[in-house]
Chain A
Amino acid sequence: MQQETQNTGPAITNGNRYDIVLTPDNQAVLRTLAHQNFASERAYYLRLHSERLSLIQGFEELLALEAIAVNPFPYQTQTARTALRRFRGRGLLCDEVGLGKTIEAGLVLKEYLLRGLVRKVLILTPPALVEQWREEMASKFLLTDFVTNEDPQFRALGQQAWSTFARVIASVATARRAEHRQAIEKVQYDMVIVDEAHHLKNRASASWKLVNALQKKYILMLTATPVQNNLDELYNLITALKPGQLKTQREFKQRFVVRGDPRLPKNRGELRALLADVMVRNTRSQVSIHLPRRRAHTILLRLTPPEQALYDKVSTFVREAMRTAEAASGRRHKGLDRFTLQILQREIGSSALAVRPTLVKLAANDGLPTDQRATLGRLAEQSAQIDRLAKTEALLKLLAASDEKAIIFTHFLATLDYLAEQIRAAGYDLVVYRGELTSAQKNETIARFEREGQFLLSTEAAGEGRNLQFCRRMINYDLPWNPMRIEQRVGRIHRIGQEREVEIFNLSAEGTIEDYILNILDRKINLFELVIGEMDMVLGNLADERDFEEIVLDIWTRAHSKEDLAEGMEKLGEALVQARQSYLETKAYDEALFGQDFGVE
């Protein structure tokens, strides 16, 4: 992991006009001369030529384009140039959802890094996106040395970590806590990126105060919805970015807000001119990104009686163990932890085969209470008796119904291995994609699927970063609880380059958690028909800030009856509907406010 290093010599201040800094590395050349280690004339001129080739001029030519692992769209490159040249590194990126603000911010960051203008970087995001940012910086921008505030080496250093590590991704929630804020405010950052910056809409909030107090040379703020409720929010956002750009609050209100209606702007031309100095907002219609429709089909089935019995028993075990764990909260507790119980519940939702190895392993764990081990042992034996999987039969029927290529997703390796056996036994040409394949093997697997394979069976690994838009059918054998993961899967085939309508088949066993989740996501808020990125916005509007998976598990385990469960899920569904509604209203407001005046194309 990258540590903070100095690579500049002392400055020679030239009468306060400028500083001359001689790189410490220069000493190596002087020592070579002092020791008379002379090279050939050719080598000398070659060295000069090499440096001439790499001279950097203005931002007309972006160096980053040759040094990243992604092909940005022209509007993304242009947005990066605008941020570099016009905004001089301090700007608000407000593209509509799904247009790639992360790519634009990453391009700007990479450009500054390559030019040596930035060393110390801080990326502030909502907690749920910290890992996603790390993944994207590594996979797309080849920046593999970001540290997050959850990493053990970061936590081990406490407050010192903020100044120790040169590149940090942290949740705003952590950064704004008093014990961290003091340390962060002392650090001189070269670049700060704030994702979901609409959370800075209130100047009295700790988040706004934190970002305002940071010492930084460059700052990018990203949000698809810069204004949600009234124009004060816009004022606060811009003021955190560039104090005085919109004058004082009183002047802003007088000049730009209709009296009596805090949502309605006036003197729009003048306001637009001020905003154009700091803001870019690309819209879908402007950048001509059109994707074909996507349609979801739910195949609802009943588990076989042995499967149902196992499912019910595992669920009961998980509920009871969860209650015991919660009751012991804060005290030493010998039983299973929340995370393991969640895994069990998810595995049984996939298949009896997925849960069996975990049951066996836990039953043999001496650290667990005897009664739990006994139950786990019985469940393991019960799972071994199951030889017929209802979902697999439904899957094979689905595969037989069409000759078209399809991708089949499952989360668990045990399920994957079983399905591979079954699908091949049925005579289909199957290609299997697993996370532990090497990069070359992964490439070959995808190439074979495109060339000749009929079906691709994969874990989440193919949901990350692979472009599979030559295929238009997707089957979810099991469903991740996290809607973002579902979107990631869908995004492999529903993306730029897809010319045909996309079909998504979800296998769902009646009465399981997955059935409830699907009910909420598909039937309540039409997840599968949302534009990519909108699910994230909807989740961001939920009053409950916990991860969606946690919320779902909580409802599941607290329910004492089917009615309880149905009621809990219904409430969650309603919350999502309201969150979606709120998002759509904000979206409409922003569209009316900004129109297409701030695009780069």
Chain B
Amino acid sequence: MADTLQDFILAYCEEVGALVERPAYNLVDILLPDGIAHRLQSDTYLRLALSEEAAATHPDALHLTYGHPLLENIEEDVRGRGQAVHLFINDVRLEKLGLFEAIQKELGLPNARLRSQKNAMARPQLHHYVRFNFKVALITDEKHEELVSVIMDLHSGQPAWALEEARFPLPLEREYRLRPLPDASPFWKPDLPLLSVERLTWLQELAAQAVAKKLESRIETLQQRTGRRLELDRARLEAYYDDTAAELERRIARAADEERRRGLEDKLVFTRAERERKLSDVEAKYRLRLAMNLINVAFITQPKLALEASIENRYTSIAHDFVWDPLLHRVEPPLCQVCGQPRYRLHLCTTGHLAGDECILYCSACKREFCALCQDDIGACAVCGRSLCTHSQIRCKVCGRVTCQEHVGQCHTE
């Protein structure tokens, strides 16, 4: 990818179909198409010096620097292009022997087992990611900018950390070379079409939070620095206004007449109000804002394999589509249906939800497992607070509250 101003200008010329000659280092002769020249408010022929040395050696050349109107016009033109690109991962093998066994090996089901479905076959389907390229401005009383990207899985709404952390460059291509395949259904916000503005808007918010997570250590350093300054400013203001208030109070106590005393009291009220205002001003000044400007997006399509299998325990049984990623050679962790986080270790709750360890609730009486989505099926003992499923709850005929077996009748004695 281009890094220098020269690279940028040359890439732009190529994009717009301009003719380019490079008579010397950091010196370019450009013949722009008429329409482009008009858009840039420039002549069609340009000789550009892209460094001070080139400008000094060739005084007839236009010295193009950052902030020059021509460069700004070029940047403006570029801003109108390249907002979205479609890239494909073609170089994958769409078959996996022993896929069910691989899933079994990865998945941890503490209260259920995995069963293969009769005649179930691995089905190739297209999965999609969106790479969000943000320009992030970290703003307190100064501003630092960075370009930060994050790849989001369009189906799960999750950051594709595994893809980002892959040790090889992603084999992205401009054209799709495999046979036509159906799109995989999204399991996050399944009611929204895959490429709808609404889904993408939700995804953008999640992407923004993922970006903030990526910048965590930078944010922490910045907040430490501004935190110190905020503390100093706050201490200065508090000391000043507290001392001023104390002086006023002393003068009030010594005030010879009522009128003078009232005047000083008014001043004291005003000083206290001003103190709060100034403190609030200074806090607002140092509060960190992450302003995220979305530069462009890459829509990345990759075929994967899906295999349906059953997860069952003595209370319930569900069918679930597991996904094999042929690029990363792994089974993708299913999502906890409560928090949406990817997990290899999942519980099957009594009502048929898959939930991670943190999202599971146990009935303290019968030990059945419920999740936060089963709010209606689980409550708590009014006396000891332990979780109880509806089967294990005992409702008091006097006060109507529920208790466990141990605390029957004690609910209305408090």
Q: How far is the CA of A45 from the CA of B11 in the complex (A)?
A: 9
In the complex formed, the residue of A with least CB distance to B284 is A217
Q: List 8 A-B contacts (CB under 8 A).
A: A33-B84, A39-B83, A49-B3, A49-B11, A50-B74, A53-B75, A89-B141, A217-B285
Please provide the 9 A-B residue pairs with the shortest distance between their CB atoms, ordered closest to farther: A244-B240, A66-B67, A43-B82, A47-B82, A26-B294, A44-B85, A18-B288, A244-B236, A32-B83
A216 contact set on B, CB distance < 8 A = 281
A21 contact set on B, CB distance < 8 A = 289-292
- Contact surface of B with A, Cβ cutoff 8 Å: 1-3, 5, 7-8, 11-12, 14-15, 65-68, 74-75, 78-79, 81-87, 130, 133, 135, 137, 139, 141-147, 174, 195-197, 200-201, 204-205, 208-209, 212, 219, 223, 229, 236-237, 239-241, 243-244, 247, 274, 277-278, 281, 284-285, 287-299
Q: A245 within 8 Å of B by Cβ?
A: yes
Given contacts A49-B1, A54-B75, contact A248 B240 (CB under 8 A): yes
B83 contact set on A, CB distance < 8 A = 28-29, 32-33, 37, 39, 47
Contact of B142 among A37, A50, A88 (CB under 8 A): A88
Residues B205 and A22 in contact, CB atoms below 8 Å apart? yes
Given contacts A23-B294, A89-B141, contact A49 B2 (CB under 8 A): yes
Contact of A248 among B244, B274, B277 (CB under 8 A): B244
Residues B67 and A63 in contact, CB atoms below 8 Å apart? yes
Given A32-B84, A39-B81, 7 other A-B residues pairs in contact with their CB atoms under 8 A: A8-B291, A20-B289, A26-B294, A30-B200, A50-B74, A53-B8, A58-B144
Q: How far is the CA of A36 from the CA of B196 in the complex (A)?
A: 10
Residues A34 and B294 in contact, CB atoms below 8 Å apart? no
A45 contact set on B, CB distance < 8 A = 1-2, 11, 82
B78 contact set on A, CB distance < 8 A = 43, 46-47, 50
Residues B11 and A247 in contact, CB atoms below 8 Å apart? no
Q: Chain A nearest CB: distance from B212 CB in Å?
A: 6
In the complex formed, the residue of A with least CB distance to B138 is A18
Q: How far is the CA of A33 from the CA of B285 in the complex (A)?
A: 36
In the complex formed, the residue of B with least CB distance to A38 is B86
Residues B65 and A66 in contact, CB atoms below 8 Å apart? yes
- Within 28-82 of A, Cβ neighbours of B (below 8 Å) are at 28-34, 36-59, 63, 66-67
- Within 144-188 of A, Cβ neighbours of B (below 8 Å) are at none
Q: How far is the CA of A8 from the CA of B292 in the complex (A)?
A: 10
Q: Chain B nearest CB: distance from A301 CB in Å?
A: 50
Residues B292 and A248 in contact, CB atoms below 8 Å apart? no
B82 contact set on A, CB distance < 8 A = 39-40, 42-48
Residues B81 and A18 in contact, CB atoms below 8 Å apart? no
Q: A557 within 8 Å of B by Cβ?
A: no
Q: A424 within 8 Å of B by Cβ?
A: no
Q: How far is the CA of A409 from the CA of B281 in the complex (A)?
A: 51
- Contact surface of A with B, Cβ cutoff 8 Å: 8, 11-12, 14, 17-23, 25-34, 36-59, 63, 66-67, 84, 88-89, 115-117, 212-213, 215-218, 242-245, 247-248, 250-251
Q: How far is the CA of A242 from the CA of B144 in the complex (A)?
A: 25
Residues B296 and A66 in contact, CB atoms below 8 Å apart? no
Q: How far is the CA of A250 from the CA of B251 in the complex (A)?
A: 13
Residues B294 and A48 in contact, CB atoms below 8 Å apart? no
Residues B293 and A26 in contact, CB atoms below 8 Å apart? yes
B293 contact set on A, CB distance < 8 A = 23, 25-26
Contact of B135 among A46, A51, A215, A247 (CB under 8 A): A51
Q: How far is the CA of A115 from the CA of B146 in the complex (A)?
A: 13
Residues B145 and A57 in contact, CB atoms below 8 Å apart? yes
Residues A30 and B288 in contact, CB atoms below 8 Å apart? no
Given contacts A47-B83, A50-B79, contact A33 B287 (CB under 8 A): no
Residues B145 and A42 in contact, CB atoms below 8 Å apart? no
Residues B8 and A49 in contact, CB atoms below 8 Å apart? yes
Q: Chain B nearest CB: distance from A47 CB in Å?
A: 4
Contact of A48 among B74, B147, B281, B287 (CB under 8 A): B147
A53 contact set on B, CB distance < 8 A = 5, 8, 66, 75
B143 contact set on A, CB distance < 8 A = 56, 115-117
In the complex formed, the residue of A with least CB distance to B292 is A22
Residues B2 and A47 in contact, CB atoms below 8 Å apart? no
B297 contact set on A, CB distance < 8 A = 29-30, 33
Q: How far is the CA of A139 from the CA of B284 in the complex (A)?
A: 33
Contact of B289 among A11, A25, A56 (CB under 8 A): A11
Given contacts A43-B81, A46-B15, contact A56 B288 (CB under 8 A): no
Residues A29 and B240 in contact, CB atoms below 8 Å apart? no
Q: How far is the CA of A25 from the CA of B223 in the complex (A)?
A: 27
A250 contact set on B, CB distance < 8 A = 247
A41 contact set on B, CB distance < 8 A = 85, 87, 174
Q: How far is the CA of A117 from the CA of B82 in the complex (A)?
A: 27
Q: How far is the CA of A84 from the CA of B243 in the complex (A)?
A: 30
Q: Chain A nearest CB: distance from B193 CB in Å?
A: 9
A50 contact set on B, CB distance < 8 A = 8, 74-75, 78-79
Residues A42 and B205 in contact, CB atoms below 8 Å apart? no
Given contacts A19-B287, A20-B290, A37-B83, contact A26 B204 (CB under 8 A): yes
B144 contact set on A, CB distance < 8 A = 56-58
Q: Chain A nearest CB: distance from B43 CB in Å?
A: 16
Given contacts A45-B11, A250-B247, contact A243 B147 (CB under 8 A): no
Given contacts A47-B296, A48-B1, A56-B144, contact A42 B79 (CB under 8 A): no
Given contacts A14-B212, A33-B297, contact A42 B15 (CB under 8 A): yes
Q: How far is the CA of A493 from the CA of B297 in the complex (A)?
A: 56
Given contacts A19-B288, A217-B141, contact A48 B295 (CB under 8 A): yes
Residues B195 and A33 in contact, CB atoms below 8 Å apart? yes
Residues A34 and B2 in contact, CB atoms below 8 Å apart? no
In the complex formed, the residue of A with least CB distance to B136 is A20
Contact of A52 among B147, B277, B287 (CB under 8 A): B147
Q: Chain B nearest CB: distance from A237 CB in Å?
A: 15
Q: Chain B nearest CB: distance from A64 CB in Å?
A: 9
Q: How far is the CA of A31 from the CA of B204 in the complex (A)?
A: 12
Given contacts A29-B296, A49-B7, A244-B237, contact A40 B85 (CB under 8 A): yes
B85 contact set on A, CB distance < 8 A = 38-41, 43-44
A49 contact set on B, CB distance < 8 A = 1-3, 7-8, 11
A55 contact set on B, CB distance < 8 A = 135, 145-147
A218 contact set on B, CB distance < 8 A = 141
Q: Chain A nearest CB: distance from B72 CB in Å?
A: 9
Residues B8 and A46 in contact, CB atoms below 8 Å apart? yes
Q: Chain A nearest CB: distance from B53 CB in Å?
A: 18
B240 contact set on A, CB distance < 8 A = 243-244, 247-248
A30 contact set on B, CB distance < 8 A = 197, 200-201, 204, 294, 297
B137 contact set on A, CB distance < 8 A = 56, 116
B81 contact set on A, CB distance < 8 A = 39, 43, 46-47
Q: How far is the CA of A250 from the CA of B201 in the complex (A)?
A: 58
Q: How far is the CA of A18 from the CA of B208 in the complex (A)?
A: 13
B66 contact set on A, CB distance < 8 A = 53-54, 63, 66
Contact of B290 among A19, A40, A52, A215 (CB under 8 A): A19
B281 contact set on A, CB distance < 8 A = 215-217
Contact of A12 among B14, B68, B208 (CB under 8 A): B208
Most buried by B among A12, A28, A212: A12
Q: Chain A nearest CB: distance from B26 CB in Å?
A: 15
A43 contact set on B, CB distance < 8 A = 15, 78, 81-82, 85
In the complex formed, the residue of B with least CB distance to A53 is B8
Q: Chain B nearest CB: distance from A333 CB in Å?
A: 46
Q: How far is the CA of A44 from the CA of B174 in the complex (A)?
A: 12
A63 contact set on B, CB distance < 8 A = 66-67
Residues B142 and A58 in contact, CB atoms below 8 Å apart? yes
Q: Chain B nearest CB: distance from A172 CB in Å?
A: 20
Q: How far is the CA of A529 from the CA of B355 in the complex (A)?
A: 87
Q: How far is the CA of A30 from the CA of B75 in the complex (A)?
A: 20
Q: Chain A nearest CB: distance from B30 CB in Å?
A: 15
B205 contact set on A, CB distance < 8 A = 12, 22
Given contacts A27-B201, A32-B83, A33-B200, contact A42 B75 (CB under 8 A): no
B75 contact set on A, CB distance < 8 A = 50, 53-54
